[in-house]
Structure 1
């Protein structure tokens, strides 16, 4: 699995650009992904904050992660413009019958594939060596373009999960 993605991010966006990551509970099919990309492009083309165009970017990575980004050096994102992005994500959920707001579902790279794991099953996965400190984890809590580039896909041992693995907790 090719995990290279930073080169796909817009180079002309400031490193402090705000980022929102929505992880789907399943991979989008090819036709769904094409339709989804059109929806994201249309949203970004019309994304506004108090009547001003938001310098935005939206894409689907790894068939499962919707990335929204706003370069606030041009126009700040307001409550209304954030609400419009949430409405888009909810519409995507409805149209494609997916869940994009389940923060209890974690994503890892296991056997060269994105694998989802409910938080409730984390201890079982650790005990059975499904994941370990070197397993790559999608840290969907990143908030800026710079963090997305450097801290999105990280080893478990470098994430908040390290305290959950006894051999790493010391």
Structure 2
């Protein structure tokens, strides 16, 4: 059953899918509806607490309460759903190694090679906020997803 994202425990599992571009305003509601439809049929256990959030109109975040057994088949279904969204909206969602970071109020999405050039040219610096899309729990998401480069694994590029 779908529950509010904020209601899940800190131990809930997280999957983050960063979009290669911001979702257009007219895409947001249809994407949310597709995600809800997917989540309602995703896991066999209908009592399993699942949630999602769409942040910055760029990140799709799925979460499942700790203790819910996620099979390989469930993970395959999730990836297939994401692949369908990619195709339909002509976006990239599965490349977690690209760097998402803030420039002012905007979220940027760059290949690592481009990001390194930005660092070298001082277009971004150690205080630039990056998104660690590899976090795996809601606690880590709440505390370590959006941090300065120096507090992330990207600090090795400094």
TM-score w.r.t. the length of structure 1 is 0.85
1:57 is matched with 51
User: SS at the partner of 1:72?
Assistant: coil
Contact 1:25 1:100 in 2 (8 A): yes
Question: Where in structure 1 are there 5+ consecutive unaligned residues?
Answer: 1-7, 166-170
2:5 is matched with 9
1:24 corresponds, among 1, 19, 27, to 19
Further displaced range: 94-103 or 19-28: 94-103
Q: Aligned residue pairs: how many? A: 154
Question: In 2, distance between residues paired with 1:153 and 1:10?
Answer: 17
Question: In 1, distance between residues paired with 2:120 and 2:75?
Answer: 40
Question: In 1, distance between residues paired with 2:144 and 2:35?
Answer: 24
Question: In 2, distance between residues paired with 1:164 and 1:70?
Answer: 32
- How far 1:16 sits from its partner (Å)? 1.1
User: SS at the partner of 1:163?
Assistant: helix
2:40 is matched with 45
1:33 corresponds, among 20, 28, 33, to 28
Question: In 2, distance between residues paired with 1:103 and 1:96?
Answer: 18
TM-score w.r.t. the length of structure 2 is 0.91
Contact 1:47 1:56 in 2 (8 A): no
Question: In 2, distance between residues paired with 1:96 and 1:117?
Answer: 19
Alignment root-mean-square deviation, CA? 1.4
Deviations along 1:60-85, one digit per CA (max 9) or x if unpaired, are 11011000101133x31111111111
Contact 2:100 2:110 in 1 (8 A): yes
User: SS at the partner of 1:52?
Assistant: coil
